[in-house]
């Protein structure tokens, strides 16, 4: 199967030219609609505004917001300039926010009012007290030397911060040819997005993802789900997570279909959006599906337009995932319409594994290469569809020897990547993590696995035996 060498900006401009009047972004609850042409025009205006405040190729721009309409505008604006879009979890507290901003060398931070009990504006002032005294665009912070701008995504004005309207207005002073020059410098293998790991095995690491990486992941996900330009995907999962920005957004971008957005999860808004827009696909974590299915107003909405979807984030409940519930008739017409995704939260996205089939074997794995050294088995991984690099891990410096191309499970691949980066010190710990995360896919009775779990080290040959047994393929350590 052919992969595409387009940048995100090129994909957007492709559809703006091919299907200019087709709806791309829809917020059904407020009847906000952008066609491909309209959205592309707004992205260009936003890109010029960012250029006006000093954002350029390689600049790191953070977004700390729920699924607000300009979340995607800013993503594509950065992509066209060649800047790197850094996603910030809306659940972050003060210390986590400050760690990420410092670790990512963030230049510009885009924020909204806040979420739940967190006041993002006040937290930003706490982190950057100089905002209240510095001229906008000329921030000087001792703790955050790279930080120069804060943008409030909305119309409200806060001291020391730009708002969206001001950014768009500043863009009027930037010539189109300046944006064009920057766009022409962007390559599909440039980093476009940084997502941070959960930090469960140490400090969060910034995962650096390329245009080629995330766009082709989204494309292959959609191909497996038989997406076409006629589909409409209801996206109620957060965009700051790989589920929203890769599996949803990149899927729609590469297939030219409509993305029906929900700003923050509300089962009633999701049901109403599916009903009104006649959505054909729905994404969510199991608790979202449960909340929708058990909503007291569920029977008031027509769900028959749904034909597919992805459930990810945790194990799929039997009564939902195995067809025990027929309240989503479009999805449950056949068991394998609803995909259960295995999370690669420490890489860049999820690998879709529907019942009785595996997109991993069909689409993702042919593009992964595993190399490891004989002896204790240091790993280096080339997997264009999994990850570009881990920030500050020195992965590229590790010595490795040749071990031809092999295809293997993307979940284990993500864990192998951690091992290569030194985040998992022993192979035994690596296998233990596999057991812990996905024990329902692994047979505990496997004697090779039992041996690996309890041994303090293992040589390459033994590990190949394990891979051979686990994946039912022949591996060699030569």
Query: Is the pLDDT at 205 greater than 70, yes or no?
Result: yes
- State mean pLDDT over 445-454: 43
Q: Does the CA dihedral 171-255-71-36 come out positive or negative?
A: positive
Of 372, 374, 379, 386, give the one whose Cα is nearest residue 422.
379
Tokens of 428: 């035994």
| 9 in Cβ contact with 73 (< 8 Å) | no
Query: Is the pLDDT at 287 greater than 80, yes or no?
Result: yes
Using CA atoms, how far apart are residues 179 and 172, in angstroms rounded to an integer? Answer: 12
Q: Running DSSP on this structure, what letter comes out for residue 391?
A: T
As a whole-number percent, the residues of the chain with pLDDT over 90 amount to 55
Residue ranges of alpha helices (H) inside 128-210 are 164-170, 176-185
| 105 in Cβ contact with 117 (< 8 Å) | no
Q: What is the pLDDT of residue 470?
A: 47
Query: Is the pLDDT at 354 greater than 50, yes or no?
Result: no
Q: Running DSSP on this structure, what letter comes out for residue 247?
A: I
Using CA atoms, how far apart are residues 123 and 249, in angstroms rounded to an integer? Answer: 29
This prediction has a pTM of: 0.75
- State mean pLDDT over 150-160: 96
Determine phi and psi for 231, rounding to 5 degrees.
-75, 155
Pairing of strands 23-27, 258-261: parallel
- State mean pLDDT over 197-217: 79
Task: List, for residues 135-151, the tens digit of each pLDDT value.
Answer: 998 999 999 999 999 99
Of 154, 128, 136, 127, give the one whose Cα is nearest residue 69.
154
84-87 β-sheet, strand order:
162-163, 149-152, 108-111, 60-64, 84-87, 191-196, 206-210, 389-390
Using CA atoms, how far apart are residues 260 and 239, in angstroms rounded to an integer? Answer: 13
Query: Is the pLDDT at 292 greater than 50, yes or no?
Result: yes
Query: Is the pLDDT at 200 greater than 50, yes or no?
Result: yes
Q: Angle 286-293/267-277 helices, nearest 10 degrees?
A: 80
Using CA atoms, how far apart are residues 237 and 30, in angstroms rounded to an integer? Answer: 18
- CB-side neighbour CA atoms (13 Å) of 471: 21
Place of tokens 């400090």: 203
Q: Say which residues have a Cβ less than 8 Å from residue 265's Cβ, sequence separation at least 6.
A: 236, 237, 284, 288, 291
Q: What is the pLDDT of residue 164?
A: 97
Q: What is the pLDDT of residue 428?
A: 47
Using CA atoms, how far apart are residues 448 and 475, in angstroms rounded to an integer? Answer: 15
Pairing of strands 281-284, 162-163: unpaired
Determine phi and psi for 372, rounding to 5 degrees.
-150, 155
Using CA atoms, how far apart are residues 210 and 156, in angstroms rounded to an integer? Answer: 33
CA distances from 353 to 215, 332, 341, 358, 457 (A): 19, 16, 5, 5, 31
Q: What is the pLDDT of residue 382?
A: 39
- State mean pLDDT over 324-346: 42
Task: List, for residues 61-97, the tens digit of each pLDDT value.
Answer: 999 999 999 999 999 999 999 999 999 999 999 999 9
Q: Say which residues have a Cβ less than 8 Å from residue 371's Cβ, sequence separation at least 6.
A: 379, 380, 381, 382, 400, 401, 402, 403
Pairing of strands 338-342, 351-354: antiparallel
Q: What is the pLDDT of residue 196?
A: 85
Q: How crowded is residue 402: how many other Cβ atoms within 10 Å of its Cβ? A: 9
Picking from 56-70, 113-127, 207-221, 400-414, which range would have the lowest pLDDT averaged per residue?
400-414
When pLDDT is cut at 50, 70 and 90, the band that residue 110 belongs to is very high
Place of tokens 């980066």: 421
Q: What is the pLDDT of residue 199?
A: 64
Tokens of 77: 């604006």
Mean pLDDT taken over the chain: 75
Query: Which one is predicted more confidently, 396 or 267?
Result: 267
As a whole-number percent, the residues of the chain with pLDDT over 70 amount to 64
Task: List, for residues 176-185, the tens digit of each pLDDT value.
Answer: 999 999 999 9
Q: Angle 211-224/8-18 helices, nearest 10 degrees?
A: 50
Query: Which one is predicted more confidently, 405 or 77?
Result: 77
């Amino acid at each position: 199967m052919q992969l595409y060498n387009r940048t995100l900006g090129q994909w957007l401009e492709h559809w703006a030219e091919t299907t200019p009047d087709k709806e791309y972004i829809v917020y059904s609850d407020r009847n906000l609609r952008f066609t491909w042409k309209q959205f592309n025009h707004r992205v260009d205006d936003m890109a010029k505004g960012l250029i006006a405040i000093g954002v350029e190729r390689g600049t790191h721009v953070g977004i700390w917001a729920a699924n607000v309409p300009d979340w995607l505008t800013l993503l594509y604006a950065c992509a066209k300039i060649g800047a790197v879009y850094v996603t910030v979890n809306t659940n972050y507290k003060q210390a986590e926010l400050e760690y990420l901003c410092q670790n990512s060398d963030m230049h510009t931070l885009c924020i909204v009012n806040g979420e739940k009990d967190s006041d993002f504006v006040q937290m930003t002032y706490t982190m950057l007290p100089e905002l209240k005294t510095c001229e906008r665009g000329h921030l000087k912070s001792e703790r955050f030397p790279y930080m120069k701008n804060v943008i409030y995504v909305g119309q409200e004005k806060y001291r020391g911060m730009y708002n969206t309207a001001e950014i768009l207005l500043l863009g009027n002073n930037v010539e189109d040819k300046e944006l064009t020059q920057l766009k022409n410098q962007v390559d599909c293998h440039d980093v476009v997005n940084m997502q941070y790991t959960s930090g469960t095995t140490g400090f969060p690491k910034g995962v650096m993802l390329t245009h080629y990486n995330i766009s082709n992941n989204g494309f292959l996900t959609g191909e497996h789900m038989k997406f076409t330009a006629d589909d409409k995907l209801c996206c109620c999962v957060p965009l700051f997570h790989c589920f929203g920005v890769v599996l949803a957004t990149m899927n729609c971008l590469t297939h030219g279909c409509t993305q029906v957005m929900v700003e923050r999860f509300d089962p009633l808004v999701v049901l109403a959006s599916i009903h009104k827009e006649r959505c054909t696909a729905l994404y969510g974590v199991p608790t979202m599906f449960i909340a929708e299915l058990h909503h007291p107003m569920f029977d008031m909405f027509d769900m028959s337009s749904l034909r597919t979807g992805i459930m990810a984030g945790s194990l799929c409940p039997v009564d939902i995932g195995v067809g025990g519930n027929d309240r989503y008739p479009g999805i449950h017409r056949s068991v394998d319409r609803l995909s259960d995704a295995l999370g690669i939260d420490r890489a860049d996205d999820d690998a879709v594994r529907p019942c009785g089939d595996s997109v991993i074997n069909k689409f993702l794995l042919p593009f992964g290469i595993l190399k490891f050294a004989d002896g204790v088995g240091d790993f280096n991984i080339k997997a264009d569809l999994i990850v570009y690099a881990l920030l500050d891990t020195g992965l590229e410096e590790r010595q490795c020897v040749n071990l031809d191309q092999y295809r293997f499970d993307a979940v284990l691949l993500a864990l192998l990547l951690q091992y290569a980066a030194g985040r998992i010190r022993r192979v035994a710990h690596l296998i233990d993590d596999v057991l812990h995360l996905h024990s329902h896919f692994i047979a505990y009775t496997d004697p090779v696995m039992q041996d690996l779990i309890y041994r303090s080290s293992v040589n390459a040959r033994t590990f190949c035996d394990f891979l051979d047994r686990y994946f039912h393929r022949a591996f060699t350590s030569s």
